[in-house]
C-alpha cells in the first residue's frame, strides 16, 4: 500500500520508542515506575462522576450532539473565564467545545495554514503542536526556549524572511516540558510581534490552574483584550482530573473560532453530552478539589526536588505544571534519549528525553510527578545509584 507523504514527519516519535522500551523492561521482570507521561494519577472528583452517571440514564444525551446542544457548557466556560481573567467572552461566537485541547491545537493549523506557510513553534514544545502543522503541510520554525532566557522565545532572533512567511505562532505557558511561566508583558510583546507580521497568536493554556502561587497566571486574552488575533486553548484533563474523558475548549477571536469549527464539522460530532455535564460540574461546582490537587503536586515537587538534590542532581524548583525539567549531568549532556533508555532498562524508571520535545530540549529530561512523595523519593535514590555508579 502507498501512504501519504504527510505521514513521514510524524514517524519520529521518541515517546512511542519509550513505550516499546517500557514493555521490554517489564518483560524482563522490572517494576516500571512511569514518570514519562503527564497523565494525572488522581481520581476525578465524585460530584463530576455523579453528573456523568446521571447523564447516562438520560436518553436525551444518547444522540448526536450539535453545536446548540453544548450551549450550557459554553456558558459555563465563558463565566469561569470572565470571573478569573476579567475579560468578557461571548459564549455563542467566542467559545468552542473540544474533544480535549490536543484535538483543538492539532486541528487549528488546518484552518489557518496553506502548504508552505510557516508556523512559529516552541522548541522544546508539545508534540501535537508539531503534528498539527505537519498535517496541514506547514513549515516549522522552531523558536528555541533557553534557560538563559527563562525558557521564553526571543522574537528578535526570528529572521525577517521567516516572520514574513509566518501565519501562526504557538505559545504554551505554564510550559510543558520546561515548567516556565510567562508574564503579561511577555504576552504583550508576543502580540506586538504577531500584529506587526499579521500572525495568528495561539496560546495553549493546559496548565492554567497548575500554578504554585496565589496569583493566577495571565491569559493571552488579557494582552489581546479585543481578541484581534488570539485564541487560547484550555483542558479539563489537568486541574479537573478528566484526562480520560477528553474534554477541553477554545476561547478567542470569533473568526478563528468559526474557522476551527468548520474544520471540526468535517471531522467530529462534538463531545458526548454526559461528559459535557461532568465538565460543567467541574467548572461551576465545588473548586476545593482543584486546590487539593495542586497541594498534592506541590508536595510531590518538593519531595522530588529535595531528594534529587540529596543525590547531587540539582533541579530548579518548578513554579507550575506537574513536571520537573532536569538538566542532565555532564556525562549524559548530549544524549537524553540514551540516558532515558538506559535508566529504564537498568532501573525500570521511565522519564521523557528532552530531545523528544525538540532539538533545544537536548541535554534535559522531564520527570512527570505522577507518584506519591515517597515513591518519588525512592525513585530519586535509584536514579542516584544509576548515575553515580
Ligand X SMILES: Cc1ncc(COP(=O)(O)O)c(C=O)c1O
Q: Do you know the residue count of the chain?
A: 389
Residue 117: C-alpha distances to residues 105, 125, 200, 225, 257 (Å) = 17, 19, 12, 27, 20
Q: Which of residues 230-249 bind ligand X (CB under 6 A)?
A: 235, 237, 243, 248
Shortest Å distance, C-beta 8 to ligand X: 24
Residues 225 and 88: their CA atoms lie apart, in Å, by 9
Residues 352 and 265: their CA atoms lie apart, in Å, by 34
C-alpha cell at 164: 514574513
Site string for ligand X, 255-274 (x = CB under 6 A): --------------------
Shortest Å distance, C-beta 240 to ligand X: 10
Residue 250 forms beta bridges with which residues?
A: 96, 233
Considering the rule CB under 6 A, would residue 358 count as an interface residue with ligand X? no
Shortest Å distance, C-beta 99 to ligand X: 8
Name which of 94 and 204 has its Cβ closer to ligand X: 204
Among 36, 70, 176, 289, binds ligand X (CB under 6 A): 176
Site string for ligand X, 43-82 (x = CB under 6 A): ----------------------------------------
Residues 31 and 87: their CA atoms lie apart, in Å, by 48
Considering the rule CB under 6 A, would residue 126 count as an interface residue with ligand X? yes
Q: Which helix (H) or strand (E) holds 273?
A: helix 273-284
> Are the CB atoms for 230 and 247 separated by under 8 Å?
no
Considering the rule CB under 6 A, would residue 100 count as an interface residue with ligand X? yes
Shortest Å distance, C-beta 153 to ligand X: 15
C-alpha cell at 152: 521564553
Residues 230 and 170: their CA atoms lie apart, in Å, by 10
Name which of 271 and 377 has its Cβ closer to ligand X: 271
Among 38, 45, 138, 356, binds ligand X (CB under 6 A): 38
Among 52, 77, 199, 206, binds ligand X (CB under 6 A): 206
Residue 249 forms beta bridges with which residues?
A: 97, 234
Name which of 100 and 153 has its Cβ closer to ligand X: 100
Name which of 322 and 328 has its Cβ closer to ligand X: 322
Residues 169 and 141: their CA atoms lie apart, in Å, by 9
Name which of 91 and 104 has its Cβ closer to ligand X: 104
Residue with cell 519509550: 18
Considering the rule CB under 6 A, would residue 101 count as an interface residue with ligand X? yes
**For 90-119, b where at least 16 C-beta lie within 10 A, e where not — what string?**
ebeebbbbbbbbbbbbbbbbbbbbeeebbb
Considering the rule CB under 6 A, would residue 282 count as an interface residue with ligand X? no
Name which of 163 and 236 has its Cβ closer to ligand X: 236
Name which of 204 and 224 has its Cβ closer to ligand X: 204
Considering the rule CB under 6 A, would residue 123 count as an interface residue with ligand X? no
Count the Cβ atoms, other than its own, within 10 Å of residue 372.
14
203 torsion bin: left (phi>0), alpha (psi -120 to 50), beta (else): beta
Shortest Å distance, C-beta 15 to ligand X: 11
Name which of 176 and 377 has its Cβ closer to ligand X: 176
- Burial status of residue 383 (CB atoms within 10 A of its CB: 0-12, 13-18, 19 or more): buried
Shortest Å distance, C-beta 173 to ligand X: 10
Name which of 138 and 177 has its Cβ closer to ligand X: 177
Name which of 106 and 111 has its Cβ closer to ligand X: 106
Q: Which stretch binds ligand X (CB under 6 A): 43-51, 95-103, 111-119, 259-267?
A: 95-103
> Are the CB atoms for 354 and 14 separated by under 8 Å?
no
Count the Cβ atoms, other than its own, within 10 Å of residue 368.
23
User: Given the rule CB under 6 A, which residues bind ligand X?
Assistant: 38, 100-102, 126, 172, 176, 204, 206, 235, 237, 243, 248
Amino acid at each position: 500500500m502507498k501512504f501519504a507523504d504527510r505521514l513521514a514527519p510524524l514517524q519520529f516519535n521518541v515517546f512511542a520508542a519509550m513505550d516499546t522500551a517500557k514493555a521490554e523492561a517489564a518483560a524482563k521482570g522490572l517494576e516500571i515506575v512511569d514518570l514519562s507521561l503527564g497523565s494525572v494519577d488522581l481520581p476525578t472528583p465524585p460530584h463530576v462522576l455523579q453528573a456523568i452517571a446521571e447523564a447516562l440514564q438520560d436518553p436525551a444525551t444518547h444522540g448526536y450532539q450539535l453545536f446548540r446542544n453544548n450551549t450550557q457548557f459554553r456558558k459555563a466556560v465563558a463565566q469561569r473565564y470572565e470571573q478569573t481573567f476579567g475579560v468578557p467572552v461571548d459564549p455563542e461566537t467566542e467559545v468552542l467545545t473540544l474533544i480535549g485541547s490536543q484535538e483543538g491545537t492539532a486541528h487549528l493549523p488546518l484552518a489557518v495554514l496553506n502548504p508552505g506557510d510557516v508556523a512559529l513553534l516552541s522548541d522544546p514544545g508539545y508534540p501535537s503542536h508539531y503534528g498539527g502543522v505537519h498535517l496541514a503541510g506547514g513549515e516549522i520554525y522552531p523558536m528555541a526556549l533557553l534557560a538563559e532566557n527563562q525558557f521564553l522565545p526571543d522574537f528578535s532572533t526570528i529572521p525577517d524572511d521567516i516572520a514574513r512567511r509566518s501565519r501562526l505562532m504557538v505559545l504554551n505557558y505554564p510550559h510543558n516540558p520546561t515548567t516556565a511561566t510567562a508574564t503579561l508583558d511577555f504576552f504583550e510583546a508576543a502580540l506586538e510581534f504577531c500584529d506587526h507580521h499579521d500572525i495568528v497568536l495561539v496560546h495553549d493554556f493546559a496548565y492554567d490552574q497548575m500554578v504554585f502561587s496565589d496569583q493566577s497566571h495571565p491569559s493571552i486574552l488579557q494582552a489581546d483584550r479585543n481578541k484581534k488575533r488570539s485564541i487560547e486553548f484550555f483542558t479539563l484533563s489537568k486541574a479537573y482530573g478528566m484526562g480520560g474523558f477528553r474534554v477541553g475548549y477554545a476561547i478567542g477571536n470569533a473568526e478563528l473560532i468559526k474557522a476551527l469549527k468548520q474544520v471540526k464539522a468535517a471531522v467530529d460530532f462534538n463531545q458526548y453530552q454526559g461528559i459535557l455535564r461532568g465538565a460543567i460540574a467541574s467548572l461551576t461546582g465545588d473548586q476545593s478539589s482543584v486546590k487539593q490537587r495542586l497541594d498534592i503536586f506541590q508536595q510531590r515537587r518538593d519531595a522530588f526536588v529535595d531528594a534529587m538534590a540529596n543525590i547531587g542532581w540539582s533541579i530548579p524548583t518548578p513554579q507550575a505544571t506537574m513536571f520537573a525539567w532536569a538538566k542532565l549531568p555532564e556525562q549524559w549532556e548530549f544524549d537524553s534519549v540514551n540516558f532515558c533508555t538506559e535508566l529504564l532498562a537498568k532501573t525500570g524508571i521511565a522519564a521523557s528525553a528532552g530531545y523528544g520535545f525538540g532539538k533545544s530540549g537536548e541535554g534535559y529530561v522531564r520527570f512527570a510527578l505522577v507518584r506519591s512523595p515517597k515513591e518519588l523519593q525512592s525513585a530519586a535514590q535509584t536514579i542516584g545509584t544509576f548515575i553515580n555508579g
